[in-house]
Structure 1
Amino acid sequence: MQEIVGESLARRLLEWGVDTIFGLPGDGINGLMEGFRRQREKLRFVLVHHEEAAAFMATGYAKATGRLGVCAATSGPGAIHLLNGLYDAKLDRVPVLAITGMQETSVLGSYYQQEVQTPLLYQDVAAYNLMVTNPQQMPGVVDIAIRNALAKRTVAHLTFPNDVQVAAVSEDPYRHVSPGKPPMSSPVLSQPPVPASQAELARAAEVLNAGKKVAMLVGVGARGARDEVLAVADALASPIVKTLPGKLVVPDDHPLTTGGLGLLGTKPSEELMEECDTLLMVGTSFPYGKYLPSPGQAKVVQIDLDASLIGMRLPVEAAVAADARLALQQLLPMLQTRTDRSFLSKYQAERDAWRSAMVALQDPSRDPIAPQYLISCVDEAATSDAILTCDSGTIATWAARHWTIRGGREFYLSGNLATMAPGLPYAIAMQHAYPGRQVIAFVGDGGFAMLMAEFLTAVRHELPVKVIINNNNAYGEILWEQIILGYPEYAVRHRQPEADFAAWARACGGYGAKVTDPKALPGAIREALAHPGPALVDCDVNPNEPPMPGKVRYEQAKHFTEAFLRGQPHKVATVTSVARDKINEMRS
């Protein structure tokens, strides 16, 4: 059988170590699907229900494994649907290859059905972006696309017209001279980690050794450098503050960390940023400047593999462009070990008080169920190497503060894009990548409803993901954002009847439990996590529970008051919830 372009693509993906493609077929990629079919023993195609989910799955797969994620969609609408998940990959800097279809070359420009110029559509999201118009471009352009995705940790895109997909790979319709094909031996998947220069390290050590109140801010770029981060922090007597995507870098219960930073962070982390005189940033370009030291307050050392990200938020005294783990290994012997640990001790005490307050909010007696209690039940019952995926919204607040990183646990969400709905697709992809681990999607009712059909995907592919729905029957984060702006809530709560997603789970052939009684919650969570297949717990939580910032600023309090004066429709229930939280905190 003559090899077609679709099969050449499949073979080349296999040579790059790709074993899975997430996607949804259509007549715009039938030739590619035939190529995938011919390699089906080695290349698995995971069929989804919505292309957006396919892109999220490819992104989640890349985040969890560090390998290339691949998604495929048909021409026109299918290619458009991929975009939200692809922007998630781009903004969180993970390598994803998107493969789409295109109408036959003979009809391009004739307003043909579903004719969308995807190279133009993708020009912002994809670092490498090409329509393949000649079989002779194979497999070279596949190599270039993948190299761009891996080297730049971003999105690459290839689109194939229908006639090119099924053309013989040896065909040259234009009789052009080929520029030459790369060797067919397996390419190198990644480059060795980049060490730091001695000059950069010497300057960094000089700044850090001179500091009196040193703080560390670590992001997901420091993943894999846990031991090195802890060793440097111990030498500098520095508290470790974590970004939300960087939550997995060091354990939450480690004595050196004060937790997260920002709207979803902790009060100790925010206050120590206001006091520190030296800041070591590792693997992060934290975007929320108002939570960082004020300009001129602290001298900054920044370590990042991507030099273009250094100095984006604050003036930098010492820049180290290198792999985080290697740079910290090289830096450690150059640091003077601190004997004065008073700055660290101060914020360790504040952290202990903060944690006690958070535990107090996990109140099992509250009815409606407190969302903090829901995530605490998950935290208690989950395995020590569980992976938790999360959507954007109030659920991110609860997960940030009440999901404990310990042992081999991990945590993933849409970081910079902060889009709704990736939680379930992430979980499906990560369960596929790590079949022996417990993978839990902690999602809101809003995000789950957007791509809930993918629970059926998990059932059909026998992927035992666990889905925990924090159901407040509202777009909770948007509700509180309206109030913080000083406006009463509007159009953010769903009308009755409230959805029963557990019934959907059972209809799909999975485990489903609906929980409204706090006494039934721990048992339902344990039973779902013990279930051998896909399982879902739909838990009704208090819709008026506010995701309060770690430290309430004057402007926030002022706008909150203004919203009530203007006629906040659920002010009694909201005030009751806030008061209950404060009482519990004072009792802790």
Structure 2
Amino acid sequence: MREIVGESLAERLIDWGVDTVFGLPGDGINGLMEGFRRHQDKLRFLLVHHEEAAAFMATGYAKATGRLGVCVATSGPGGIHLLNGLYDAKLDHVPVLAITGMQETSLLGSHYQQEVHLDRLYQDVAGYNLMITNPQQMPGVVDLAIREALAGRTVSHLTFPNDIQIAPVEQDPYRHPAPGAPPSSLPTLDRPPPPPEEEALRAAAQVLNAASKPVILVGAGALHARDEVIAVAERLGAPVVKTLPGKAVVPDDHPVTTGGIGLLGTKPSEEAMEECDTLLMVGTSFPYGKYLPEPGKARVAQIDVDPALIGLRLPVEAPVAADAKLALRALLPLLTGTDGSFLARYRGEMDSWRARMAALCDASRDPIAPQYLMGCLDELAAEDAILTCDSGTIATWAARHWTIRGDRRFYLSGNLATMAPGLPYAIAMQHAFPGRQVIAFVGDGGFAMLMAEFLTAVRHELPIKVVVNNNNSYGQILWEQIVLGYPEYAVRHRQPEADFSSWARGCGAYGAKVTAPGEVAGAVREALAHPGPALVDVDVNPNEPPMPGKVSYEQAKHFTEAFLRGQPHKVATLATVARDKISELRS
């Protein structure tokens, strides 16, 4: 058999160390699929039920491994479906290569069926974006696309017309005044990141050494620098505040951290940020400026491997463009530190906060408190478990009640904050780490969007565990409406409530439906012990508010106004809030 372009693509992916492609076939990529088939011994094709899930899987794989994630979709609607997952990759700065099909070159522009010019559609999401028009472009443009994705930590896209996919790779249908195909090469991208400049480090040290109330804000860019973050925090006497994607930077029970920030964060973190006179940002360009010090109220130093991300939120006096681990390690000997009283005070505040959160994990509360569900999962999960999460109220419960300890990890859609990636993330990460416990903590809304992928896990024998926090509503939107002062509207599903455990059992997996508090721990324990895929669907209190760590006057005012305007579930909601407060006061 002559080597076709689809086969050349498969070979080049293998040369770059790619071992898995997530996707869904279609007549627009039959030539590519034939190339994958010819190399199935080295390149696994993981078949999914929806292309959006394939893009989420590629993104989750890249987030968890640091390697290139690859997804493939057919022409037209298949390529369109990839977009949400690809934007998740772009906004969270992880390398993903998207491969799509296209109509034959002779048909382009003829309004042919499914003729969507995906290279134009992808102009915003993809850093490298090209339609292949000549077999001679292979494999050089594949190298360019992969290098761009890896070096820029972004999305690359290649789209292949059907006739090009099956053309002999040596074919050249054109006469070229300037002969020569794009050069191909496999340069190593494993070179160490550039070290920080000494002058930049000295400037940062000068700012930090003048602080009396320093705070460190860490994000996903510091996940590999745990020891260095802790050492700098202890030297400075600075509380460590964590973004949600950076939750695993420092163990949640470590005395230097005050936990998360923002709507899902802690009161000690918010108050430390309000009080600080100096802020060190490491591996984050945290987008919610209202939770950061007002510009000019605190001196700011920022460390980020990408210079373009420095100074996006606040004026930065001391920028350090470098890898977080290298920069912190070099910065530590230059720091003199404070007397530690600021950190000591917030350690005490954090002890009180942890006691309040523990009090909300109450097994006696009926309906089931989502905090209790998350607390049971936290207690029973392995010390090296990977937790994936969707966006919504479930992110609040995970942020506050999933404890990073040991080698635990935590992943969710950060800057895009989209619904539905929790399940696909878990599938991809279980595939990447077959020996680890991988748990998807998802809401009923997010799970329902891509629930067919649970069958994907069963068919590929991936023993993921799924815990559904089922409040039969779009809970985060519900509370956003109330906080804005509106009575809730169109955010609760009608009866009957879904029983996703029956779907799990129908797939041939473990499935349990939980409606009473006394059943929660046992069902979670059984699911975690099950050797294959397992799902626990838990009916939780739909009126449990994901309250901010610190309620502002405006939030309280709008909350009250919404009730005065006729909040339809005000009695149940007020009863839940009252029980929360009573539990906290008892702690």
TM-score (norm 2): 0.99
* Partners of 2:22 and 2:478 in 1: CA distance: 34
Residue of structure 1 in register with 2:392 after alignment:
393
Counterpart position of 1:297: 297
Cα distance in 1 for partners of 2:18, 2:180 equals 26
Asked if residue 132 in structure 1 is aligned to residue 136 in structure 2, the reply is: no
SS of the counterpart of 1:441? strand
Aligned to 1:487: 486
Contact 1:150 1:190 in 2 (8 A): no
Corresponding residue for residue 162 of structure 2: 162
Query: Secondary structure at the residue paired with 1:303?
Result: strand
Quick one: which amino acid aligns to residue 13 of structure 1? L
SS in 1 for 2:78: helix
Displacement of 1:193:
1.6
Q: How far apart, in 2, do the equivalents of 1:530 and 1:182 lie? A: 52
Shift of 1:174: 0.9
Give the drift of 1:182: 3.5
> Residues 284-363 of structure 1 correspond to what in structure 2 (within 5 A)?
284-338=284-338, 340-363=339-362
Question: What residue in structure 2 maps to residue 55 of structure 1?
Answer: 55
CA RMSD after TM alignment:
0.8
- Residue 241 of structure 1: how far off its partner (Å): 0.2
Correspondences of 1:62-461 after superposition (within 5 Å): 62-176=62-176, 177-182=178-183, 186-338=186-338, 340-461=339-460
Check the 8 A contact 1:12/1:139 in 2, yes or no: yes
Q: Give me the whole-angstrom Cα distance separating, in 1, the residues matched to 2:221 and 2:417.
A: 18
2:571 and 2:308 mapped to 1: Cα distance? Answer: 49
Deviation at 1:175, TM superposition (A): 2.9
1-side partners of 2:271 and 2:435: how far apart? 41
1:352-397 CA distances to partner (integer Å, 9 max, x unpaired)? 0000000000010011100000000100000000000000000000
Change (3 A) 1:180 1:109: closer
In structure 1, give the amino acid aligned to 2:516.
Answer: D
1:198-227 Cα deviation digits (max 9, x unpaired): 000000001100111111000000011000
Shift of 1:444: 0.1
Kindly provide the CA deviation profile for residues 12-52 of structure 1, in whole angstroms up to 9, marking residues without a partner as x: 00010000000000000000000000000000000000000
Conserved 8 A contact 1:136-1:178: no
Number of the residue aligned with 1:539? 538
Matches within 5 A, 1:546-557: 546-557=545-556
Is the CA contact (8 Å cut-off) linking 1:219 and 1:246 kept in structure 2?
yes
Matched, 1:565 2:564: yes
- Output the CA distance in 2 between the equivalents of 1:170 and 1:111: 30
| Secondary structure in 2 matching 1:247 | coil
8 Å CA contact 1:471–1:538 kept in 2: the answer is yes
Name the SS for the 2:302 alignment partner. strand
Q: For the residues of structure 1 that align with 2:12 and 2:391, how far apart are their CA atoms? A: 36
**Paired residues, what number?**
586
Q: CA deviation at 1:178?
A: 4.5
Query: In the TM superposition, what is the alpha-carbon distance from 1:189 to its structure 2 partner?
Result: 3.6
Paired letter, 1:182: P
Residue type matched to 1:268 in 2? Answer: P
Cα deviation 1:410-431 (Å, max 9, x = unaligned): 0000000000000000000000
Q: 1:16, 1:189 within 8 Å by CA — same for their partners in 2? A: no
- Provide the secondary structure at the position in 2 that maps to 1:411: strand
Contact 2:86 2:155 in 1 (8 A): yes
Distance 1:244 1:520 in 2: 30
Structure 2: distance between partners of 1:21 and 1:226: 31
Question: Which runs of 5 or more residues in structure 2 are unaligned?
Answer: none
State the alpha-carbon separation in 2 of the partners of residues 174 and 441 from structure 1.
51
Q: Distance in 1 between matches of 2:511 and 2:189?
A: 41
- Render the CA deviation track for 1:175-200: whole Å, top value 9, x for unaligned: 3354345355x431433122100000
Distance 2:203 2:140 in 1: 43
d(CA) in 2 for partners of 1:317, 1:161: 50
Q: Distance in 2 between matches of 1:183 and 1:216?
A: 43
Amino acid at match of 2:137: Q
One-letter amino acid matched to 2:359: A
8 Å CA contact 2:390, 2:443 repeated in 1: yes
Q: TM-score, normalising length from structure 1?
A: 0.99
1:443-522 mapped onto 2 (5 Å cutoff): 443-522=442-521
SS at match of 2:247: helix
Q: Which amino acid aligns with 1:270?
A: E
Q: What SS class does the counterpart of residue 246 from structure 2 fall into?
A: helix
2:362 is paired with a residue whose SS is coil
Give the distance between the partners of 1:548 and 1:337, measured in 2 at CA: 35
Q: Contact 1:151 / 1:190 at 8 angstroms: preserved in 2? A: no
